[in-house]
Amino acid sequence: GESVGLHLPTLSVQEGDNSIINCAYSNSASDYFIWYKQESGKGPQFIIDIRSNMDKRQGQRVTVLLNKTVKHLSLQIAATQPGDSAVYFCAVPDGATNKLIFGTGTLLAVQP
Amino acid sequence: KAGVTQTPRYLIKTRGQQVTLSCSPISGHRSVSWYQQTPGQGLQFLFEYFSETQRNKGNFPGRFSGRQFSNSRSEMNVSTLELGDSALYLCASSLVGDTQETQYFGPGTRLLVL
């Protein structure tokens, strides 16, 4: 089955800097990828998704990059703000079902 | 449009008891999935319901069960609670549960088993 891993458990950045959070997946047939943000005491909040027919997708201050060759995706947050402090998860559906396999999460800490 | 709602938000039970958690999906969404989140295991899939039928199931013991009603609302039940069942239980909804549909999560129910 699919497995998903994140490269760093914690990332500390200065307010205003750009943040990059990485994720690796194992199944080369995976065709849909999602990033969620989870603030303390809340459920995961959808940020952005990308399908395998794309290499890059941009949202408001966020960009997701997908490298299918090395089975890696990243979430870039521009001009990081204190409100961006949270745990970020990448998630991938497991094969033919919509069961999501989550990475372990990266805690983003934004220093003022 | 209202988001996914879950009740109750917090629950304290003792070992051996049973508990029922409720989830109301986003209006129009017919697929509801349940996840367990713990510090040690992260987010783990429990099961998915669509059209009142369990369509997918994760690797949890039979003490964990669920159901879905005709209005797509879902409940999950945990019987004979164990200390290790203490967790944040999250439900997520999507339109029909397609593999490329976004799943939207509720705030979760935090269960503490003493």
**Over residues B41-45, mean pLDDT:** 93
**Quick one: what percent of chain B has pLDDT higher than 90?**
90
Token pair for B80? 């004979």
Q: Write the burial class of residue A76 (CB in 10 Å: 0-12 exposed, 13-18 middle, 19+ buried).
A: middle
Q: What is the pLDDT of residue B6?
A: 98
By C-alpha distance, which of B31, B27, B20 is closest to B5?
B27
- Beta carbons within 8 Å of A96's beta carbon, 6+ residues apart: B99
- B60 in contact with A at a CB cutoff of 8 Å? no
CB contact under 8 A, A43 and B107: yes
Tell me the pLDDT tens digit for each residue of A19-43. Answer: 999 999 998 889 999 999 999 999 9
Rounded to the nearest angstrom, the minimum Cα separation between A95 and chain B is 8
Residue of B nearest to A87 (CA): B42
CB contact under 8 A, A43 and B90: yes
Rounded to the nearest angstrom, the minimum Cα separation between B114 and chain A is 20
- B25 in contact with A at a CB cutoff of 8 Å? no
Q: What is the mean pLDDT of each run of 10 residues along chain A (112 residues)?
A: 78 96 92 95 96 96 96 97 96 88 94 91
